[in-house]
Amino acid sequence: MGGILNAIEVSAQGLSVQRARMDAVAQNMANAETAETKEGGPYRRKRVMVEEEEGKASFRSQLNRADTRLARTNRAHRSGGMNGNFETVSVSAVSHQEVADPESSFRLDYDPTHPKADADGYVKMPDIEVVDEMVDMMVASRAYEANTAVISTAKKMAMDALDI
């Protein structure tokens, strides 16, 4: 049962990350022509950065790392296997954060009638390619679908195991 729960835990984290990616892409597409933001200057493309959280992991992986009497006993006591053949899977927690893309730049559009145009008639606009954003949206959407499929399959496997 631990493998099924680990699969659901990993997929739940993946769902959260992919949802944040889709939100960031939607913001980028909506602001592709925003020349002025509340903070000042043109909109900067957003990205979602994902990293492993130190110190936050599943109970089982924390137990495996702990220096306790239980951790020093036979692994079969913790893994669920009677003969100790099951390998415990360590599931790390991940965090995601939406940040302004440090590599994003601006394009200069010639529009002397624009209120934000400089003395030469150029306006700084976000350098966001809508086609690239759509590709990112499709990738995040497919990854989201894959994670939901994993959760559905894990639930079905657990239900089938209960029927035995």
User: What DSSP designation does 96 have?
Assistant: E
Residue 1: pLDDT above 80?
no
**Half-sphere exposure (CA, 13 Å, Cβ side) for 70?**
9
The predicted pLDDT at position 87 comes to 46
Phi then psi dihedrals of residue 127, to 5 deg: -90, 70
What is the average pLDDT across 112-130? Answer: 91
Q: What is the pLDDT of residue 61?
A: 61
Please report, rounded to a whole number, the percentage of residues in the chain having pLDDT higher than 70: 75
Q: What is the pLDDT of residue 75?
A: 59
Residue-wise pLDDT for 25-44, tens only, equals 999 999 999 888 888 888 99
Q: Are the C-beta atoms of 124 and 41 separated by less than 8 Å?
A: yes
- Of 47 and 90, the one with more pLDDT: 47
pLDDT at 81 (0 to 100): 46
CB 56 within 8 A of CB 13: no
pLDDT at position 86, please?
A: 40
At residue 120, the pLDDT reads: 92
Numbers of helices and strands, H then E, in the chain: 4, 4
Which pLDDT band, with edges at 50, 70 and 90, does 21 fall under? very high
Every domain of the chain and the residues it spans = 2-32+46-57+90-100+128-163
| The pLDDT value given to residue 151 | 93
User: What whole-number distance in Å separates Cα of residue 157 and Cα of residue 7?
Assistant: 11
Residue 70 has pLDDT above 60, yes or no: no
